[in-house]
Each structure stands twice: as C-alpha cells, then as structure tokens.
Chains A and B, each alone.
Chain A
C-alpha cells in the first residue's frame, strides 16, 4: 500500500524476521532467534553494563556512579511520593521496567543504519508492550487482593457515593480499571510506532527528492532533512517521556492497590 507511492515502505522496519535459520522449534512451536530478540538482548546488555559500571559503591561517587544514582534516586523518590513509605518494595520492579523501556526506545533510535545494521525498536510491537502492561496489571491485582482480600472491590466505589448510584459507578469504575492494561501497553506501542513511521516517511521524501533531480533536492529534500533532525530530537524526548509515563502510571496503579482510595 505505502510502497506504491514510492520505493520506500515505512512499515518494513517493523518486520520481525529470524536471524539464524527458521527451523528452530520446540514441540512444534517456532522459537527462531529473531531481530526482536536480538535487540532485547542488546538492551539487556546495555542496561547491565550501565548498572554494573555504576554499582561500585564508592564513598565519593564518580561520574558514572552519579549517573546511576540519579536514575535510582529518581525512581525511588517517585515511588515514595506516589505510594508512600510502602512503595519502597516496588522500586526494583518499576526501576527495571523504566530502564528497559528507556534503553529499548533509545536503542531503536540509534543511527546504526549508516553502517548497514537495521535498528529495531523492541517497544514498537504490541506483543512486547502488552506483556509489560499485563505484568504490571497482574502485580496490581495480586497486591490488591493479597493485602485487602475482597475489600479490594471497594476501590470501585468512591467514598460518599449515594446508594442508588453505586451499581452504575461500580460498573464505570470497573470498566476503567479493566481498560488499564490496554491503555498502558497501547500508549507506548503507538507512540513509538507513530514516531518511527513519521521519520521513515520523511526519509522517503529525502531519497525520492534526490532521485528526482536537482530542483526537488532544493525544495523537497533539504527542508525534509532539516525537519527530520528536529523530529529526531523530539523523538528522543518522546522516548524518555513514554518510559517515564509507563513507570509513573504503574506506580499510580500500585498506589490504588496498596492504599485503596
């Protein structure tokens, strides 16, 4: 569809393909090592290098340790302000979530295309973000029912609701609660997908303009390229904001489970 308007297909970057042979299978299920899996592994490696390099626990922190500590301090202060003192025990989970999403987003923006490697954004697939959202939602449910038992359902009836309104309010609140994993996963997935499609469409303008001759280079390619530089900076900002929003909303949902209202 999009390929008809030019030779560049903006959706091709999201293609998942096996890297080393398609025949890997366990009990009939294909478990080929895909480019998605490889970029997840790269994300994990980058995260491990960043964390281990900064966890030397020196009394006077160097630059690296200060960088790591600013991230951990950021998340742990977010947990304390949103959940309270009991939020401390969720810090490791939310921190891993935040760092994984942040690094995966930024890895997808890396300009490794200039050396012939195709960067792949792990978080631009609903399967990945959906699983992250379902894990968050499952933790909320488990914590909520563990701590409050069936009293957890009082979350769906705000204080001071008149008696005759309770059935309606209960349904609305239940629905808005159940929609959370979808909105959480969908937001990250669509934000990353939309940004990458936009950049590839602009890149298509640049390439097609260059192919069409000197005049279109001047009036199409160069303005598109300048716009692309700006959009790239904006996308880096979106990478950080989406990781932050995911962690923030997870902590708010956890707050519901821990403290009810």
Chain B
C-alpha cells in the first residue's frame, strides 16, 4: 500500500476513537442527570466529580484526535 494512503486510512481509523469518546462523555453526563433527578438535593455537591469524569473521558478522545493530526500533518 502507498504510504500516503496508509496515513490517511490511519487518520480515519483514529477518528473512530473520537467517536468512542463521545459515547464516554455522553455516558458521564447521562448517568449524572439520571441520578441527579432521583436525588436533586445531592446533585450540586457532585459537580466537581462530574467534571473530573468528563475530563478523564474526554482526554482519551482528544488523544485519538492528536494521533489523527500527527498522521495527517507531522508523520
């Protein structure tokens, strides 16, 4: 396979990782809302943990994006 074509395919495959991170972030906020509606009084106290979970889930998707960018522009 041509090296250039392999790079583009690799970048496309890395984009799958970004989509997977979307599932993760959606799961974080979805679960938070679900339980926040069950017990609204306790929801505000958990906002810090919500954003920690969001940051952890998002980071992995961003890493996939970095891989795609490195393949497209650097490698």
- Interface residues, chain A, with chain B CB atoms under 8 Å away: 1-2, 11, 78, 81-82, 183, 186-187, 190-191, 193-194, 241, 244-245, 248-249, 252
Residues of A within 8 A of B69 (CB): 193
- Interface residues, chain B, with chain A CB atoms under 8 Å away: 48, 51-52, 54-55, 58-59, 62-63, 65-66, 69, 72-73
Of the residues A2, A81, A190, A245, contact of B54 by C-beta under 8 Å? A245
Residues of A within 8 A of B62 (CB): 186-187, 190-191, 194
The docked-state distance in angstroms from the alpha carbon of A78 to that of B49 is 12
Q: How far is the CB of B5 from chain A (nearest CB, A)?
A: 13
Q: List 5 A-B contacts (CB under 8 A).
A: A1-B72, A186-B63, A191-B62, A194-B62, A248-B48
Of the residues A11, A187, A194, contact of B59 by C-beta under 8 Å? A187
The docked-state distance in angstroms from the alpha carbon of A147 to that of B51 is 28
Decide: B48 and A245 in contact? CB cutoff 8 A: no
Query: Interface on chain B toward A: helix, strand, loop, or mixed SS?
Result: helix
Q: Known: A1-B72, A186-B66, A194-B65. Contact between A252 and B52, CB under 8 A?
A: yes
The docked-state distance in angstroms from the alpha carbon of A183 to that of B52 is 13
Q: Known: A186-B62, A190-B66, A194-B65. Contact between A244 and B73, CB under 8 A?
A: no
Q: How far is the CB of A16 from chain B (nearest CB, A)?
A: 15
Q: Which 7 A-B pairs have the closest CB atoms?
A: A190-B62, A245-B55, A187-B59, A194-B65, A183-B59, A190-B66, A245-B51
Q: Known: A1-B72, A1-B73, A194-B62. Contact between A187 and B48, CB under 8 A?
A: no
The docked-state distance in angstroms from the alpha carbon of A241 to that of B59 is 13
The docked-state distance in angstroms from the alpha carbon of A249 to that of B73 is 30
Decide: A249 and B55 in contact? CB cutoff 8 A: yes
Decide: A248 and B59 in contact? CB cutoff 8 A: no
Decide: A248 and B58 in contact? CB cutoff 8 A: no
Residues of A within 8 A of B52 (CB): 248-249, 252
The docked-state distance in angstroms from the alpha carbon of A2 to that of B69 is 11
Decide: A187 and B55 in contact? CB cutoff 8 A: yes
The docked-state distance in angstroms from the alpha carbon of A183 to that of B63 is 9
Decide: A241 and B51 in contact? CB cutoff 8 A: yes
Q: How far is the CB of B74 from chain A (nearest CB, A)?
A: 10
